[in-house]
Amino acid sequence: MTSQMISGIAADRLSSDELAQNFADLHAPLKPHEVKVAADRCYFCHDAPCITACPTDIDIPLFIRQISTNTPEAAAKTIFDMNILGGMCARVCPTEELCEQACVRELAEGKPVEIGRLQRHATDTLMMQDVHPYSRAAPTGKVVAIVGGGPAGLSCAHRLAVLGTDVTIYDARPKAGGLNEYGIAAYKSTDEFAAKEVEWLLSVGGITIENNKALGKDINLDDLERDFDAVFLGVGLGGVNALDIGGSDKSGISDAVAFIETLRQASDLSTIPIGRNVVVIGGGMTAVDAAVQSKLLGSEQVTIVYRRGREAMSASRYEQDLAAKHGVKLMFNVQPKRLHGNGAVATLELEYTADEKGKLAVTGETLHIAADQVFTAIGQTLKTNSSLVLEGRKIAVNSVGRTSRDGVWAGGDCASSGDDLTVTAVAEGRDAAIDIHTTLMGGA
């Protein structure tokens, strides 16, 4: 096995067969008999709590009943009517915290109906067919610009296109898809599904994508407002917070977002260098995805360090347990103090923390752990130079995505209403599209 060693970081740690097995689909599709068994467990509740728990308000009992009556295409239409990215959401949505947690079976038996996997069965069935399930309404004569080709932008674009409006999406990346294409763990979306989903969505017509067009660099909001009838911003959070501790200028330190993007776009995983002792700083989904994938690439020791307790982690308990199942060590109530090493990082000095009346405090007690590669997952920031009013660090919007500028809407992670979930971004893009259409049509 060949290796290009940089400090303790090396590529080609595992064979191609091992990597293929490690990065296989996390949740394989249900087999035909499994579909029937899973669907038959649904009680088809009246006023079902799973619907309320779904950010896109999918009629879950209805689509499961349609599956149980051998009409998965109808089930998929029920899903897509509310969530046009239902295929991806079936793969990445934290169903264990949303619809499945609210399932009556979960409350009664501790084992919910497998809503996510049933949703995948239905959406995959319909997407494999040649005919798009939607057709466009009569042309409205209106044109809308969408900045950002991620879940919010794509959802907004599709709904507007179906309603008869022509849409141009400007995306800063070489490929559309946003978080779905660049930012989720490779084992959650295999076989280039994100790209295939975008292609399928675009087949409705009326949507043009212009790649490598960044807001504030290649395009600006004033020009878009002049040239289009409305603008929707779904730019996500393009910046990352820096690690502000001593020694952070050493080699071997990078942000987890960039690492995950490299993984997602790699044609050969064996070429990605990984350390023997990897430390990920942070407590969210990005931290878990970076840590688990480090282990799958062949790292010997992977540790997530988080400054607060387990219950404060934004990553779900399911994701925490998934990390532990893959051999990742989780350390709580410790925060980075200093990185040590001669040019390249070798150890990370941590300081224990404590919760004192709701505030985080350091105890003065420290420890060192081996770390030849460190990934930071300590939050992302909004990158925009527009004159929009902000709420905190995000664009201030109302319940349907209207910003402080007339004719400009926003949704997804960049908006104050966003919660950094694909499914929520889809809902916000959809709702903004409906409000944009209503506004452009004079309130009809």
Q: Which two tokens stand for residue 415?
A: 């908006």
Specify the pLDDT at position 136. Answer: 97
pTM for this predicted structure: 0.95
Backbone dihedral region for residue 280 (phi beyond 0: left; psi -120 to 50: alpha; all else: beta): beta
Taking the CB of residue 320, how many other CB atoms lie within 10 A of it?
19
Strand, helix or coil for residue 37:
helix
Q: What are phi and psi of 78, to 5 degrees?
A: -60, -40
Q: 85 with 92: CB under 8 angstroms?
A: no
Minimal CA–CA distance to 62: which of 81, 88, 90?
81
Q: List strands edge to edge, sheet with 408-410.
A: 207-210, 166-170, 143-147, 230-233, 408-410
Q: What does the pLDDT read at residue 242?
A: 87
Nearest to 375 by CA among 272, 270, 268: 272
CATH number of 143-238+382-440: 3.50.50.60
Fold type of domain 32-127: Fumarate Reductase Iron-sulfur Protein; Chain B, domain 2 (1.10.1060)
Distances (CA, A) of 144 to 163, 164, 387, 414: 12, 11, 20, 19
CB 337 within 8 A of CB 349: yes
φ and ψ of 246, to 5 deg: -60, 140
Q: What is the pLDDT of residue 3?
A: 40
Closest CA to 93 of 443, 430, 426, 438: 426
Instruction: Supply the CATH classification number for the domain 240-376.
Output: 3.50.50.60
In contact, 273 and 11? CB cutoff 8 Å: yes
Residue 138: CA atoms inside 13 Å, Cβ hemisphere, count?
1
> Distance between CA 434 and CA 444 in Å, rounded?
11
Contact 215, 221 (CB under 8 A): yes
Instruction: Give the span between the Cα atoms of 325 and 35, in whole angstroms.
Output: 26
Please tell me the number of Cα atoms within 13 Å of 159 on its side-chain side.
Answer: 27
Nearest to 209 by CA among 163, 159, 172, 160: 172
Q: Which two tokens stand for residue 237?
A: 């959070």
In the structure encoding, which two tokens stand for residue 47, read together?
Answer: 């006023």
Give me the residue spans of the domains in the chain.
32-127, 143-238+382-440, 240-376
Residue 4 has what pLDDT?
A: 46
| SS3 of residue 266 by DSSP | coil
Question: Can you give the C-alpha Rg of the chain in angstroms?
Answer: 23
Within this chain, domains 143-238+382-440 and 240-376 share the same CATH topology: yes
**How many Cα atoms occupy the beta-carbon half-sphere of 237 within 13 Å?**
21
Q: For each of the chain's 444 residues, which pLDDT tens digit applies?
A: 334 455 689 999 999 999 999 999 998 899 999 999 999 999 999 899 999 999 999 999 999 999 999 999 999 999 999 999 999 999 999 999 999 999 999 999 999 999 999 999 999 999 999 889 999 999 999 999 999 999 999 999 999 999 999 999 999 999 999 999 999 999 999 999 999 999 999 999 999 999 999 999 999 999 999 999 999 999 999 888 889 999 999 999 999 999 999 999 999 999 999 999 999 999 999 999 999 999 999 999 999 999 999 999 999 999 999 999 999 999 999 999 999 999 999 999 999 999 888 899 999 999 999 999 999 999 888 876 668 999 988 999 999 999 999 999 999 999 998 788 999 999 999 999 999 999 999 985
